[in-house]
Structure 1
Amino acid sequence: MATETSAKSIVLVSTDRDFVKETRSAFASSDAIELKVVEKNVADLHGEVIQAEPGAVVVDLDATKLAELEALQRLVRRLDGGAPVLVVSASFDAAAARILVQLKVADFLVKPVTTADLVRSCIRALKGPGRDEQSEAQIHTFVPAAGGVGNTTLAIQTAFQLHDTGGGASTCVVDLNLQQGACAEYLDLEPRFDISEIENQPERLDRQLLEVMLSQHESGLSVLAAPARPTEMRTFDTDVVVRMLDLVSAYFDNVVIDMPRTWFPWTETVLLGSNKIYIVTEMTVPCLRNTQRLIQAFAQAAGREVSPSVIVNRFEARRFEGGVKQNDVEELLGEHFAGGIANNYKLVREAVDRGVPLHQIDAEANVLKDLRRIVFPAEAGAGPVASSRSLFAFGRRLLRRAG
């Protein structure tokens, strides 16, 4: 592998003198990688990158400036797949996320960037995709269509299935209902994520602090959840949420996100970074109508990059006369309908009251079988089918591969 990278160079485009200096130092001792620096703004480039014949390109830009993003787009087109592009920026928002997903950049790093993260990311980019294609964290996001539809229950049970089926794959549940989440309580765990520690300085969240804030289930499943504060109603900067998810996915193979009903400024970013999105609903007319609205909202906010699957919880193929029937659901949801989960209220309630997973009570429960058919469509233990397009960089891009 060293012989592959020795013939390639990395071109850094940046006007940040401190960042250039740090990057030079990071690669100074490497015999395998040659660093070439173009000290220009990306919008002022005139062929310098192409002339350098790069193996990979690192572009330091301001992701909030449209002119620089347009210049990046032109550069990507000129490279025409000949070299992976990594983007570094001190800022990040949902609009930039959408553009970078469309450009298929190899990685996106938010300043301040540690030299170790940058070097790892560059090496993975030089190696190229393929060998570690499936090693990126898989992000499964659950969104409730209404209150009480069982979103948290299905998110947690999906996490257990991923954890148990992955052959030692690590899994973390992230409860993004930061005011009144219930993931930790469903598993009889103490929520330990104190977001006030990092909300003003998201860069403070590192591996060591993450370990302190994770709750551990006896099964090995990890949970990142904040203590419930029902009297507080406030949002958090997108940078805080991205930093948190970026770090979690760097150290776990599977990440399952339990989303709140409320749409926050960071919601679109989370959706864009997810490999699979499930809207959880149930067989009532108001709930199904709101499910349609959510599907439309996702399309308007994130376009074709987001295509949610709908899980109908407490599903009954035969309903009472005059009620919603299976044909109605299939016709209403169309291609978004992923399947239904049997109505087994007694089992679910017992599991929640005892703080244990469903399989600990009944490993053959119909609820688990239905969920498995949805989460593992290819089945037979082969693992979930999900496209590897997580923009967050989400860790695997930093520590295990380039996208």
Structure 2
Amino acid sequence: MPKSAPRPGTRTLGIYSEDAGLRAQFATRLADTGRAAMVEAEPASFLSASATTSKHDLIVLDVGDGAMLEDSRFQAARDKLAGVPLIVVSEALAPERVRQVVKLQAADWLRKPLLDQDISAVLAQMEGSTSSSRVTTIIGASGGAGATTLALMAGHYLSQSGTVALVDLDFQTGSCGAYLNSQNEFDLEAVVANPDRLDAELLDLIKAGQRANLELYSFERPDLVFAPTARRFALRLLDLLTLRHKEVVIDLPNLSTPWFDDVVRHSDDVVIVFETNVAALRQAKMLLRRVEAARGGSKGIALLANKTRFRMFGNPISRKDVEKLLGVDHFHTAVRDHDLLTDAVNRAIFPSEVSSHASFVRQAHRFLSSVFGVRKSAR
């Protein structure tokens, strides 16, 4: 019998398994998100003529060693699902049972033990998409290019339409928190040592601060970069936030951290911020190629030349020079406004709160609109 019943109108995950550990994995993750309920039952009940499997939004069926697939009632039970996606979970299967799984036309087939990303993929399918949120990563090609400022502006821009998580993965400085004067005092030691402890309750505790609809996660922990569990911590943090929020903005340093490739590969959009001098452009070109290699192409990558104003004539480096060097046919620009940004930092507010009509703010918003426009208007 089911151990729990969902509230009316709540999405439900039906999990049919004798594996208590597997059920606990899903129960923990659903508790983290708070966005769905789970109904548990034994695999045998899936075959029952009275089973109400069509009432679930998604079903996870643990077939163990595959013996269940040979039950004569199995296909009839599958036909009753009425379009409900089925995820098959199993141990290693013999070739003939693998063929039986393929014939089921399941939405996915996962082999135990399941990893965190497997659980995330299953829950994302219940949300009705391959990703439960949209992730935008912003990277500076060189120090001082302005990536942190743009990440803050991106978070503030999106927060006008809904809740946004802004994640600062520059653990060396925690620049986003410093900018908004929201340093995090939570002792991360135990969480860093065991990232699996990170859950929805801890997310609220480690949050550096909140401005209206913008939740900030920023930590000044230089030692974290070298911790053996740093990659698991960073990816676990992002995993939970993408389940909680429809929009996640990441301020990612261009360092060769263990999580760099994972983050850019799974981001919906990547923004590279650079300056237009010879040294900075050389770094921008290397970073662009590195991001393209991680993502398998240039799709979803946008470029912003910050602190830049091209004149009609007499530019030391022209727009065409930049396009030729980077191997692109388009990029955006934003002007330098030292006084505006200094005032914003000193007051720990967003540049648009200092002056929404400043040239830098208008140009940055025009760029952000090109990245987020369709997404923002769809809310």
Q: 291, 313, 318: which is aligned to 1:325?
A: 318
Structure number with greater Rg is 2
Q: Note closer, same or farther for the CA distance 1:88–1:368 as it changes in structure 2 (3 Å cut).
A: farther
Distance 1:375 1:351 in 2: 19
Q: Which has the higher contact order (CA 8 A, sep 6+)?
A: 1
Task: Indicate if the aligned counterparts of 2:87 and 2:110 stay in contact, CA closer than 8 A.
Answer: yes
Which 5+ residue runs of structure 2 have no aligned equivalent?
1-5, 7-12, 28-37, 46-50
Verify: 1:234 aligned to 2:226, yes or no. yes
| C-alpha separation in 1, matches of 2:252 and 2:62 | 42
Count of matched residue positions in the alignment of Structure 1 and Structure 2: 339
| Conserved? CA contact 1:192–1:227, under 8 Å | no
Length-normalised TM-score, structure 2: 0.73
**Matching of residue 149 in structure 1 with residue 145 in structure 2:** yes
- Among candidates 248, 253, 259, match of residue 255 of structure 1: 248
The answer to whether the 8 A contact 1:144-1:151 is kept is yes
Contact kept, 8 Å, 1:180 with 1:227, in 2: the verdict is yes
Cα distance in 1 for residues equivalent to 2:310 and 2:282: 19
How far apart, in 2, do the equivalents of 1:242 and 1:182 lie? 19
The structural deviation recorded for 1:84 is 2.4
- Separation in 1 of the partners of 2:331 and 2:102? 37
The alignment status of 1:40 with 2:65, answered yes or no, reads yes
Secondary structure of the corresponding residue to residue 223 of structure 1: strand
Task: Please state whether the residue corresponding to 1:342 is helix, strand or coil.
Answer: coil
Residue 147 of structure 2 is aligned to residue 85 of structure 1: no
Structure 1 SS opposite 2:184: coil
Query: Is 1:357 aligned with 2:350?
Result: yes
Structure 1 partner of 2:22 = 19
Contact kept, 8 Å, 1:207 with 1:247, in 2: the verdict is yes
Question: Aligned letter for 2:219?
Answer: A
Superposed CA deviations along residues 110-162 of structure 1, whole A, max 9, x for unmatched, are 6xxxxxx97xx39x63x855xxx9x9422110111111101101110111111
Judge conservation of contact 1:193–1:213 (CA < 8 Å) in 2.
yes
Post-superposition Cα deviations, 1:213-258, rounded to whole Å, max 9, x if no partner, equal 11224434221011354x7751544322221011122222321111
Which residue is 1:399 aligned to?
Answer: none
Distance change (3 Å), C-alpha of 1:383 and 1:38: closer
What displacement does 1:277 show? 0.5
1:276 aligns with 2:269: yes
Matched residue of 2:142: which SS? coil
Report which stretch shifted further, 53-62 or 366-375.
53-62
**Secondary structure of 2:248's match?**
strand
TM-score (norm: length of structure 1): 0.69
Answer whether contact 2:62 2:89 (CA < 8 A) is retained. no
Q: Secondary structure at the match of 1:174?
A: strand
Alignment-mate amino acid for residue 149 of structure 1: A
SS at 2:216 equivalent: strand
Structure 1 Cα separation of the partners of residues 165 and 24 of structure 2? 36
The alpha-carbon distance between structure 1 residues 109 and 232, as it changes in their structure 2 partners (threshold 3 A), is closer
Distance of aligned partners of 1:378 and 1:181 in 2 relative to their CA distance in 1, 3 Å threshold: closer
Residue pair 1:139, 1:276 contacting (<8 A) in 2 also: yes
Aligned-partner Cα distance in 1 for 2:290–2:188? 28
CA deviations on 1:335-354 (whole Å, 9 max, x unpaired) are 47441111212211211122
CA contact (8 A) 1:214 1:224 kept: yes
Superposed displacement of residue 305, structure 1: 8.2
RMSD: 4.5
CA change 1:61–1:327 in 2 (3 A) is farther
What stretches of structure 1 of length at least 5 have no aligned partner?
3-8, 98-107, 111-116, 387-403
Q: Identity over aligned residues, as a percent?
A: 25
Query: Does the aligned pair in 1 maintain the 2:254–2:287 contact within 8 Å?
Result: no
Structure 2 CA distance, aligned partners of 1:23 and 1:354? Answer: 44
Match of 2:206? 213
